Amino acid sequence: MTDIQQIRDVAEDWPVRASSVPFQGRVTGVRTDEVLMPDGSYARRDYQTHPGSVSVLALDDQQRVLVLRQYRHPVRQRLWELPAGLLDVPGENPLHAAQRELYEEAHCKAAEWRVLVDFYTSPGGTDEALRLFLATDLAEAEGERYQAHGEELEIETARVPLDELVRLVLAGELHNPTLVTGALALHAALTGPGLDALRPGDTPWPARPFERN
């Protein structure tokens, strides 16, 4: 049995005999690799390439979470989610990107930022890495509201008590993976080591290196 002290993810890179990109869109693409298996054979792996994402769990002083609802065409549902966006500027600081998304999607700002959790959204099918921030000490942003477009034109917003979000997640009523992960992670932090145990907002992120400024 593996020693509990070794329970952490580690970098590893199996040999690739051939690699191609049969499709490349504006932001994401599809890559095909022929990967050497432990038995000496090669297996084909197709996966989505992705620049990475950030998301924000914004918690107000009444322990309510800011959530958004918008249409997601691949699953044909209008989902409740957290503010989120792509890291589509190479080398962009993820904290700055998260602050921008909170402003654009909710016209909100926060004085305190921590890293709540880092995760791969679907590591068997995409290399997308997501950093989820906890934002507290909230206030309305200054200036004009961001001009939305596309699906964002019909975004709805709400502030939901954290306990109610957790209940809805466990009842199978909420399905966005970032919202599910964020609600459960924040609940675990608050009932466990506390928010002071979370990492600072500018903590290095090996999955998506960035300049700290």
- What does the block give as tokens for 66? 């800011």
| CA atoms of 119 and 204, how far apart (whole Å) | 14
Rounded to whole angstroms, the Cα distance separating 133 from 58 reads 8
N-terminal to C-terminal alpha carbon distance within the chain: 43
Ranges assigned E (strand) in 126-172? 129-140, 156-161
Backbone torsions φ then ψ of 104, nearest 5 degrees = -65, -40
Establish whether 152 is a catalytic residue: yes
Residue of 128, 152, 154, 211 marked catalytic: 152
The residue among 202, 198, 179, 200 whose CA lies nearest residue 189 is: 198
- Catalytic site positions: 152
